[in-house]
């Protein structure tokens, strides 16, 4: 199902503030006092709920953690690597 796109024109106040139209606030579940994350990408500005953005990032970088853990295991468990072995012996003092 395609997401509906809405366009709204807003103005910047003298203090540099913007008001999010009430209709959009309701649809997005934005309430007074909520924090929003402002993201600038090129010439675009995106406002995102931090929790939603955190989930997006987690999905984007899920494989990075697995690759990092796998690589670190190979380095740390390499018995022939004298640098790590001497480091480990020195840390046991």
| pLDDT band, residue 39 (cuts 50/70/90) | confident
Degrees, nearest 5: CA angle 5-11-17 = 105
Element (H, E) at 25: helix 22-28
Report the number of distinct structural domains present in the chain: 2
Query: Which tokens sit at 66?
Result: 């697995």
Query: Which tokens sit at 2?
Result: 């395609």
Q: For residue 39, what are the β-bridge partners?
A: 46
Same domain flag for 48 and 5: yes
Q: How many whole angstroms separate alpha carbon 46 and alpha carbon 39?
A: 5
Same domain flag for 50 and 5: yes
Q: What is the pLDDT of residue 4?
A: 83
| All residues at 6 or more sequence positions from 46 whose CB lies less than 8 Å from its CB, including other chains | 38, 39, 40
What CATH number did the domain enclosing 35 receive? 2.10.260.10
Q: What is the pLDDT of residue 1?
A: 60
pTM score above 0.95? no
């Amino acid at each position: 199902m395609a997401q509906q796109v809405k366009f709204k024109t807003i103005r910047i106040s003298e203090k540099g503030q913007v008001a999010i139209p009430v209709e959009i606030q309701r649809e997005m579940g934005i309430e007074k006092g909520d924090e929003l994350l402002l993201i600038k990408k090129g010439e675009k500005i995106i406002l995102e709920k931090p929790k939603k953005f955190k989930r997006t990032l987690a999905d984007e970088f899920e494989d990075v953690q697995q690759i990092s853990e796998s690589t670190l295991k190979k380095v740390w468990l390499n018995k022939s690597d004298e640098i790590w072995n001497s480091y480990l012996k020195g840390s046991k003092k």
